[in-house]
A = this chain, B = another copy of it.
Amino acid sequence: MEEKRLERQQVFAGKILDVYKDTVSLPNGNVATREVVEHAGAVAVLAIDEQGQIVMVRQYRYPMQEVMLEIPAGKLEANEEPLECAKRELEEETGYIAANWEKIFSLYTSPGFANEVIHIFLARDLQYVGCNPDDDEFVEAFKASVEVTIEDINSGMIRDAKTVSAVLWWKSQLS
């Protein structure tokens, strides 16, 4: 089933993404074009407090032109370990640190056109140490019960794929 790269043309070199137009050979020998976005990858954190509430963030997502409700997340920096990135992003965006970390799974968000991988962690034994966001980052943290979060997924209020995956996974662990 493999597609072999014959040629690669970089069409954009950005800060957070690079875009390529590749020529590939298909399994039947035909030649096709593939448009590919390369991204450094990201992490997301399902942080659960002692009452079983989920730590969520509200932020404006420019590509969607919408304020979205998501679990805390962020892009991997160069050579950064996913777990270190997860700890950094949880504290930066919500003011929480956690004593107990577990990897849940890694997801491919848009495998048809992008190579983004998002590593999702479960964080427990939370402690609030205070928020210290970047000047140009506008993120509001809040907590919500699993039940309300699932209602928000079913009503379409929460539409972020990593958040839906992580919260429904957590629900499956509880039941």
Interface residues of A, Cβ cutoff 8 Å to B = 1-3, 11-12, 14-17, 19, 21-22, 24, 26-28, 30, 32-39, 42, 58-64, 66-68, 70, 73, 75, 105-118, 135-136, 138, 140, 150, 153-154, 156, 159-162, 164-165, 168-169, 171-172, 175
Beta-carbon contact of A135 and B35 below 8 Å: no
A15's partner among B19, B33, B172 (CB-CB below 8 A) is B33
Q: How far is the CA of A3 from the CA of B63 in the complex (A)?
A: 10
Beta-carbon contact of A2 and B109 below 8 Å: no
CB<8 Å pairs between A and B, sample of 14: A1-B59, A12-B35, A16-B112, A17-B113, A19-B37, A30-B136, A34-B62, A36-B63, A37-B63, A105-B153, A106-B156, A110-B116, A114-B114, A164-B165
Report the nearest B residue to A22, measured CB to CB.
B62
Instruction: Please state the number of chain copies in the assembly.
Output: 2
Residues of B with C-beta under 8 A to A1:
58-60, 67, 138, 140
Beta-carbon contact of A63 and B159 below 8 Å: no
Q: How far is the CA of A66 from the CA of B3 in the complex (A)?
A: 10
Known contacts A68-B108, A73-B112, then 15 further A-B pairs from the complex at CB < 8 Å, ordered by chain A residue: A1-B58, A1-B140, A3-B62, A12-B21, A30-B136, A37-B63, A75-B112, A105-B156, A105-B164, A108-B161, A109-B109, A109-B110, A150-B172, A161-B161, A165-B168
Beta-carbon contact of A160 and B3 below 8 Å: no
Beta-carbon contact of B105 and A159 below 8 Å: yes
Report the nearest B residue to A35, measured CB to CB.
B14
Beta-carbon contact of A160 and B107 below 8 Å: yes
